[in-house]
Structure 1
Amino acid sequence: MISIDLTARLLHRDALILILDKPAGLPVHAGPKGGANLTAMLDQLRFGLPKPPELAHRLDKDTSGCLILGRHARPLRTLNELFAKGGVEKTYWAVVEGGPAEDVGLIDMPIARRSPERGWWMKPAEDGLPAQTDFRVLGRGDGLTWLELKPRTGRTHQLRLHCAASGFPIVGDPIYGSAPREGGPVLHLHARAVTVPILPKKPPVTAEAPPPDHMQARLAMLGYDGPISPTPPELIRPVVVEQPTVRRGLRK
C-alpha cells in the first residue's frame, strides 16, 4: 500500500479549507480495481477534527497541483456553491505540441460525452455543454509551447480536449493527444494556482503549486527556472528529455 505524507504537500491550511499539492499519478478516488487513492489518505489531514476533510472538486489522476478540500460541512457547502457559479479562479500550466498562432486568446468550444458507456471521454459538439478556456503563451521553442490556461467553465477533460481539438494537444495525453498508453511522457498539465473567496468579507485565499518534476525538463527548455515539486517515486518515475537550446519564454 502506497503511503504519502500529505501534510508535507499542504499549500494552505485554515479553519475552513485546505489546499493540497496533489502529485501526478495519484487518483482522487478509488477505481474499479481499487488501489491507492487520495481519498483513502485524507485521515492524515484531520488536524484534530472528528472527520477527515472532503474534496471540493477533482483533478485527473495524472494532473498535478492545487486541490481544494473542505474541512467540514459548512465550508463544503460554500465551496460547492462557488464552483457551481464559477467563483473559484483556477490557473493551469500545460506544455503542448505545437501551439496557438496567437499569444492570447479564448477557446470557445461546447463539449459532450463521446458515448454513454464512457462518460469521462469527451468530444467537441455544437449541441454540447458550453465550455470556454482562456489561454496565454508563456514560452515557445523546439515545437512546443508553454501555456497558461484559465477555464471559465469546469467540464470534464475540458482543457485536454480544448487543446487537442484546437490543434495543440498536451504532451503526455494518451486519450486526446499522441502519447502512447504505456511508456510515454506523463501528462504535462498542472493546476498552478487557485483563488478561493471562501469568506465574503475577507480577501480570497490564494495558493500556488510549483510544477512537478516530470515537467521540469520541457519547462526549462521554454524558459522556466523556478522551483519544482517532487513526485513520490512510487507514483511516477520522472521522464528525462534532451534540452536543446531554444528561445527563452516570457515572464509572468
Structure 2
Amino acid sequence: MSSNRYIIEDIFHGKRLDWWLKKKFFNLNFHYIEKLIRTGQVRVNGGRVKPSHKLTDGEEVRLPPFIRYEVKPKINNRNSSFSLSERVLYCDKNLIVIDKPYGLAVQGGSKITDSVDSMLDSLNLGPDEDARLVHRIDKNTSGVLMIARNFRASKMIQEKFFSSKIKKLYWAVVFGRPKSDYGVIDLPLKKKFTNKYEKVMVDANGDEAFSIYKVIETRENFSWLLLSPVTGRTHQLRVHCAEIGCPIVGDKKYSIPGLKNNNSNYGFNMTQLFSRKVILEGKYDEKILVEAPLPSHMRSIFNYIGFKKNCNELYEIEKKFEKKIYNS
C-alpha cells in the first residue's frame, strides 16, 4: 500500500472521515481537512464523499501525496495539572465514566487546543484498548461523561442509547420558575447560522426534541431544576429552558434580554448546567448508576441563593423522577 492510501481498521468503523483524518494527522486543522474533502482531494474507495461520511472497516482512503503521517509528540497540555485518570468516577471492562471539568471541550476544533479527546491517552489504558467518545456535553457543562474503552464497547453503548437504556440527569439553575412543577417540553430544534455563530432554535421543521423537568426548589427569582433529555439534540436543554421562559443562569448564547445578574463573585457568569448522573442498564438488566460531585461554581451559587434541600430529600425527588423518565 502506497504512503497516501490507508485501509480503515475495524476500530474506526462508524467514525466520521474528518474525525479520522484529524486523529491520524494531528498537524492538520479541521478547516483544512474539510477543504481537502470538499475539493475531492480525499477519496474513499475512489469516490468523493462528505466530511461527515461514516467510515466502514475495509474502506480505502486515498490522500494527496503531500499529506504524510507524523508521530504525535508528547505535549504539555494546558490541563496537564491533572489527567483524566484522576477524574474517573466508574470503570469496568467496557466503560469509563469521568467527571469532566467546567471549561474543557469534549472534542477539538479549529479554535480549541485542549479537549477530552486529546487527553484520552492520560487514562493509561492497556495496549489493546482504544478509548473513544460515545456522547458529548457542552464545554461549559461539567459532570458525568461516558467513554468507551474500545470500538466494540462503543457500539454496545450506542445501541443502549438508541434503545433508551441509558438515561441522563442534569441539574440547572434557571431564572424564574416554570408554570408547573413537572413537565415535558416538546419543541423541535434546528441549527441555524447567524453572522456571528451557529445557534440552535425552535423550528417546526426541525428535529423532534423532548425534555423532561422537575422543579426541585425555588428561591427569589431562581429555580433549581432536575432535567432529562429524552432526545439528544445539540444545546437541547439550554434552548428548551429558554423557550419556557426560564433560561439557564450564565448561558450567554440563549439568555433572555432583561434577565441578567452581573454578580460574577458567585458564579452568575458561568453556565449553571451540570451533568449530574447517568443510569444505564447492565448485561443482566441491573442498573448501573454513576453520579458526579457538585462543582464548586454551582455550589457557590447554591449557597448564595439559599437552596437547602438535604440529601434525603434529593434522593426521594430523584428516585421519583427516574421512575417517570423510564415510563415516558
The superposition leaves residues 125-172 of structure 1 with CA deviations (integer Å, 9 ceiling, x where unpaired) of 112111111100111102100000011111110000000011000001
| 2:155 is the alignment partner of 1:59 | no
Equivalent runs, 1:9-158 vs 2, <5 Å = 9-115=87-193, 121-158=199-236
Alpha-carbon distance in 2 for matches of 1:119, 1:152: 26
Query: TM-score of the superposition, structure 1-length normalised?
Result: 0.83
Q: Flag the structure with higher helix content.
A: 2
- Give the direction of change, closer, same or farther, for the CA distance of 1:54–1:224 in structure 2 (3 Å limit): farther
- Give the direction of change, closer, same or farther, for the CA distance of 1:50–1:118 in structure 2 (3 Å limit): farther
Structure 1 residue 198: Cα displacement: 4.5
Pick from 193, 198, 204 the counterpart of residue 287 of structure 2.
204
* Counterpart residue type for residue 199 of structure 2: W
Question: What is the aligned length?
Answer: 229
Partner of 1:222: 307
Alpha-carbon distance in 1 for matches of 2:130, 2:195: 32
Give RMSD over aligned pairs: 2.5
SS in 1 for 2:178: coil
SS in 2 for 1:149: strand
Are the counterparts in 2 of residues 18 and 68 from structure 1 also a CA contact under 8 Å?
A: yes
Structure 1 residue 194: Cα displacement: 0.4
Alpha-carbon distance in 2 for matches of 1:219, 1:49: 43
Alpha-carbon distance in 2 for matches of 1:72, 1:171: 37
SS in 2 for 1:218: helix
| 2:291 is the alignment partner of 1:189 | no
Q: Which has the higher contact order (CA 8 A, sep 6+)?
A: 1
Are the counterparts in 1 of residues 270 and 297 from structure 2 also a CA contact under 8 Å?
A: yes
Percent of aligned pairs sharing the same letter: 34
Structure of larger gyration radius: 2
Alpha-carbon distance in 2 for matches of 1:189, 1:22: 12
SS in 1 for 2:199: strand
Alpha-carbon distance in 2 for matches of 1:167, 1:54: 37
SS in 1 for 2:146: strand
- Give the direction of change, closer, same or farther, for the CA distance of 1:250–1:12 in structure 2 (3 Å limit): closer
- Give the direction of change, closer, same or farther, for the CA distance of 1:198–1:69 in structure 2 (3 Å limit): farther
Alpha-carbon distance in 2 for matches of 1:194, 1:249: 16
Structure 1 residue 51: Cα displacement: 3.7
* Counterpart residue type for residue 149 of structure 2: R
Q: Flag the structure with higher strand content.
A: 1
Partner of 2:59: none
The superposition leaves residues 11-59 of structure 1 with CA deviations (integer Å, 9 ceiling, x where unpaired) of 1001110011101100011121242211111112133243441111001
Are the counterparts in 2 of residues 43 and 51 from structure 1 also a CA contact under 8 Å?
A: no
SS in 1 for 2:172: strand
Consecutive unaligned residues in structure 2, runs of 5 or more? 1-76, 318-328
Are the counterparts in 2 of residues 79 and 198 from structure 1 also a CA contact under 8 Å?
A: no
- Give the direction of change, closer, same or farther, for the CA distance of 1:159–1:34 in structure 2 (3 Å limit): closer
The superposition leaves residues 151-209 of structure 1 with CA deviations (integer Å, 9 ceiling, x where unpaired) of 111111000000001100000101001569xx76110001100012242x241321011
- Give the direction of change, closer, same or farther, for the CA distance of 1:98–1:251 in structure 2 (3 Å limit): farther
Query: TM-score of the superposition, structure 2-length normalised?
Result: 0.64
Structure 1 residue 90: Cα displacement: 0.5
Alpha-carbon distance in 2 for matches of 1:88, 1:205: 9
- Give the direction of change, closer, same or farther, for the CA distance of 1:118–1:83 in structure 2 (3 Å limit): farther
Structure 1 residue 115: Cα displacement: 2.9
* Counterpart residue type for residue 292 of structure 2: A
Alpha-carbon distance in 1 for matches of 2:191, 2:130: 33
